[in-house]
């Protein structure tokens, strides 16, 4: 059996994969594949309508917000966001590579202030005690940092429009959407396959900048056209909808949060009680989605041996990012706790033989 800890594209609910496979052969018994129907057909319109409605339901999205399904990944949002919202100044919290890349794009459109950074300790913690400038057009945060295993666990009060890249922790915990002006992210962690990007945007923040915005990069274009100004990523949206149905049937985001905490606690406890392994993120900043750890100094020479040992036990995708090293177990929504137990057992067995 394979245990999929890939950081993204990552594990998906089995039922979402199976239902997508069926739809690729024949969508709803219409005799055509999902891959060959018109995106403007009633059959696909029903899919995208259901996906929007389910997203609003499971996340508790209030009135006044629009849900969009776009292309280009979260990386496209790094420029699309300031194009639409940065008039004079924006503020960013720098908690890793993706936050830094988002910041870089924003600098093309106006002044950018870094309110705090955790670069001094290789992004191993979430900064605290920073001041958000009240004259900023928005404040941007990256809620979960896949490479470093850190996460912002609460919905902060913010004096300006709060924007969050939630690519890797969307739907992993309850979120008070009303505290955010916009939430966006790539789908390929907790929602679906690569190829679709979600944007949840409060409509009243748009249309404030003076610059001309290219049609495709204007959020208002996609709101007006229901995410169908151009051909949307049909297959990823279908799978995303199947994932939302799975999540709702499971008990929603609240239930998912309980399950995610149980998985993370199990693995963190194993790391903290280990003679051989040690976590890399500061404890009060630890992510529920990406659990990063390394060998203690005395056992550094055992890393490759553990990778091989784990591979033989069915562990997939646990190699740490090159900027951190060591190991990373991504415990996204669809990962069953049985896989975490298998990894914990694998670590314990290797330690018995080698410590």
Residues 58-81, mean pLDDT to the nearest whole number: 98
Q: What is the pLDDT of residues 148-191, one digit of tens each?
A: 999 999 999 999 999 999 999 999 999 999 999 999 999 999 99
Is residue 190 a contact partner of residue 168, using CB atoms and an 8 Å limit?
yes
Strand (E) or helix (H) holding 84:
helix 73-85
Name the token pair of 252: 């929603």
User: From residue 288, how far is each of 148, 170, 241, 315 by CA, in Å?
Assistant: 12, 12, 23, 19
Q: What is the pLDDT of residues 5-36, one digit of tens each?
A: 999 999 999 999 999 999 999 999 999 999 99
Where does the pLDDT of residue 323 fall: very low under 50, low under 70, confident under 90, or very high at 90 and above? confident
Q: What is the pLDDT of residues 286-322, one digit of tens each?
A: 999 999 999 999 999 999 999 999 999 999 999 999 9
Pick among 3.40.50.300, 3.40.50.720, 3.40.640.10, 3.40.80.10: CATH of 14-249: 3.40.640.10
Three-state secondary structure call for residue 235: helix
Where does the pLDDT of residue 66 fall: very low under 50, low under 70, confident under 90, or very high at 90 and above? very high
Q: What is the pLDDT of residues 240-282, one digit of tens each?
A: 999 999 999 999 999 999 999 999 999 999 999 999 999 999 9
> Whole-prediction pTM value?
0.98
Q: What's the whole-number average pLDDT of the chain? A: 98
Where does the pLDDT of residue 116 fall: very low under 50, low under 70, confident under 90, or very high at 90 and above? very high
Name the token pair of 319: 């190699």
98 is catalytic: yes
Is residue 187 a contact partner of residue 194, using CB atoms and an 8 Å limit?
yes
Q: What is the pLDDT of residue 308?
A: 97
345 is catalytic: no
Is residue 60 a contact partner of residue 250, using CB atoms and an 8 Å limit?
no
Q: What is the pLDDT of residue 286?
A: 98
Q: Which of 137, 169, 189, 263 is catalytic?
A: 189
Name the token pair of 65: 């917000």
CA-CA distance, 150 to 34, in Å (whole number)?
38
* Pair type for strands 3-4 and 315-316: parallel
Residues contacting residue 56 through CB under 8 Å, at least 6 positions apart: 65, 67
Q: Which of 137, 165, 169, 218 is catalytic?
A: 165
| pLDDT greater than 90 at residue 95 | yes
Residues contacting residue 160 through CB under 8 Å, at least 6 positions apart: 91, 132, 133, 134, 136, 137, 138, 139
| CATH code, residues 251-354 | 3.90.1150.10
Residues 145-150, mean pLDDT to the nearest whole number: 98
The residue ranges of every structural domain in the chain are 14-249, 251-354
Q: What is the pLDDT of residue 69?
A: 98
Name the token pair of 168: 């890797």
Where does the pLDDT of residue 227 fall: very low under 50, low under 70, confident under 90, or very high at 90 and above? very high
CA-CA distance, 191 to 253, in Å (whole number)?
12
Residues contacting residue 41 through CB under 8 Å, at least 6 positions apart: none
């Amino acid at each position: 059996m394979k245990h999929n800890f890939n950081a993204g594209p990552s594990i998906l609910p089995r039922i979402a994969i199976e239902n997508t496979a069926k739809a690729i052969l024949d969508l709803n018994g219409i005799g055509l594949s999902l891959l060959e129907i018109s995106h403007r057909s009633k059959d696909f319109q029903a899919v995208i309508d259901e996906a929007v409605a389910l997203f609003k339901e499971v996340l508790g999205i209030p009135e006044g917000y629009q849900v969009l399904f776009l292309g280009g990944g979260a990386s496209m949002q790094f420029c699309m966001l300031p194009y639409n919202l940065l008039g004079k100044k924006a503020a960013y919290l720098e908690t890793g590579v993706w936050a830094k890349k988002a910041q870089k794009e924003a600098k093309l459109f106006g002044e950018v202030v870094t309110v705090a950074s955790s670069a001094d300790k290789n992004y191993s913690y979430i900064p605290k005690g920073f001041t958000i400038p009240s004259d900023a057009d928005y404040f941007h945060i990256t809620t979960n940092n896949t490479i470093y295993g850190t996460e912002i666990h609460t919905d902060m009060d913010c004096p300006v429009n709060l924007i969050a890249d939630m690519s890797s922790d969307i739907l992993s915990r309850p979120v008070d959407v009303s505290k955010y002006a916009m939430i966006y992210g790539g789908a390929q962690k907790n929602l679906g396959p690569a190829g679709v990007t979600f944007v949840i945007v409060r409509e009243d923040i748009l249309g404030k900048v003076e610059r001309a915005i290219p049609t495709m990069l204007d959020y208002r274009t996609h709101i007006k056209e229901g995410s169908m100004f151009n051909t949307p990523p049909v297959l990823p949206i279908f799978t995303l909808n199947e994932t939302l149905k799975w999540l709702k049937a499971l008990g929603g985001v609240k239930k998912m949060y309980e399950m995610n905490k149980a998985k993370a606690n199990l693995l963190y406890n194993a790391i903290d009680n280990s003679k051989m392994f040690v976590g890399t993120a500061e404890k009060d900043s630890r992510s529920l989605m990406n659990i990063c750890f390394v060998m203690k100094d005395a056992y550094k020479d055992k890393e490759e041996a553990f990778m091989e040992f784990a591979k033989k036990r069915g562990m997939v995708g646990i190699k740490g990012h090159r900027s951190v090293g060591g190991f990373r177990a991504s415990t996204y929504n669809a990962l069953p706790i049985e896989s975490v137990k298998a990894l914990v057992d694998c670590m314990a067995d290797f330690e018995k033989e080698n410590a």
